[in-house]
Amino acid sequence: MIRIGICDDERHMSDTIRAMVSDFFRQRNIEIIILQFSSGEELLRFDKQIDILFLDIQMKGIDGMETARKLRHRRFKGILIFITVLKEMVFQSFEVQPYDYLIKPIEEQYFEKMMERLLGSMRNASEENLLIQKGYESRIIPIGDIVFCEIIDRKIYLHLVSSEVVDYYDRIENLEKKLNYGFFRCHRSYLIHLKYLKGYKNGTAYMENGREIPVSRLRNKDFSNVILQYMKCEGNN
């Protein structure tokens, strides 16, 4: 499910974008949640993940540009689309890395083309990201940020480079299928990212974050071969 935010202090414009977004995704049978905010302050108080954000630049109080700066400073990784009546404002926004701009009044044809392009980008990016579901919440985790994965009592714990640990319910076999090249199932309860492997000795994998991960005897030989193959491939890149 994709979480979409719309932040505009003009209710009519916010509702117009909501209708256009709803129609676009409904026609493609894609589930979404739409959240509407009437000010930058209200948006900044929201502490959940937003995958696509439509943000008006000219708003009372904290304007859209300053709101975007604050969001990026908090490591907001969602797709940012600015809404503006002034084309000139576009040139002031490069630092916050917007995906695109919608000029008021919004042309439906341009909106459709932009959203098709955006959807294609998201599908390509899905190969580099892991979408996890936790209850009614969804979150996108960059695969490159995962140091190792651990399963305890049917719950998966993703240990990230930031030291954050993200947990959710799933089978480790399902996770193993989703992760790309560079991960190895060294134990029935662990998947490690070889990118962050610091060393290996006597059945223990030493990770860069200081954790020591057990390697089962059954996987010991395979692990040595996988490490050599990984190092060879990385050396050729």
What is the tens place of the pLDDT at every residue in 66-75? Answer: 999 999 888 8
Q: What was the pLDDT predicted at 155? A: 93
Residues 109 and 149 in one domain: no
**Which domain, by its residues, includes 152?**
143-236
Determine how many CB atoms are found less than 10 A away from the CB of residue 78: 16
Low-confidence residues in the chain, pLDDT < 70: 87-93, 124-127, 135-138, 180, 232, 234-237
Do 192 and 224 fall into the same domain? yes
| pLDDT at res. 157 | 96
Q: Give the domain CATH number at 67.
A: 3.40.50.2300
In this predicted structure, what is the pLDDT of residue 221?
A: 80
Which pTM does this prediction carry?
Answer: 0.59
Say how many domains are in the chain. 2
Co-location of 9 and 121 in the same domain: yes
Does any domain span residue 134? Answer: no
Regarding whether 196 and 101 lie in a shared domain, the answer is no
pLDDT of the residue at 224 = 79
Q: Are residues 121 and 147 in the same domain?
A: no
User: Per DSSP, what are the bridge partners of residue 197?
Assistant: 207
Residue where one domain finishes, among candidates 125, 160, 180: 125
Q: At what angle do helices 108-125 and 11-26 cross, to 10 degrees?
A: 60
Please indicate, yes or no, whether residues 9 and 120 belong to a single structural domain of this protein: yes
Q: Identify whether the C-beta of residue 85 lies closer than 8 Å to the C-beta of residue 76.
A: no
> Would 135 be classed as within a structural domain?
no
Q: Are residues 154 and 104 in the same domain?
A: no
- Considering the domain architecture, whether residues 101 and 149 belong to the same structural domain is answered as no
**Assigned domain for 136 exists:** no
* Residues 163, 62 within the same domain: no
Tens digits of residue pLDDT in 85-128: 876 666 566 778 888 889 899 999 999 999 999 888 777 666 67
> Can you tell me which residue has the tokens 């908090």?
74
Together in a domain, 171 and 99: no
User: Is residue 172 located within the same domain as residue 221?
Assistant: yes
Alpha helices in 46-144 (DSSP H): 64-73, 108-125
**61: Cβ–Cβ under 8 A, 6 or more apart, which residues?**
39, 40, 41
CATH of the domain at 208: 2.40.50.1020
Give the model's pLDDT for residue 127: 61
Q: What are the start-end ranges of the E strands in the chain?
A: 2-7, 32-37, 52-56, 79-84, 100-103, 129-134, 137-142, 146-152, 155-160, 165-169, 183-187, 190-193, 197-201, 204-207, 212-214
Is residue 152 located within the same domain as residue 189? yes
- Structure token pair of residue 212: 């020591």
* In-domain check, residue 137: no
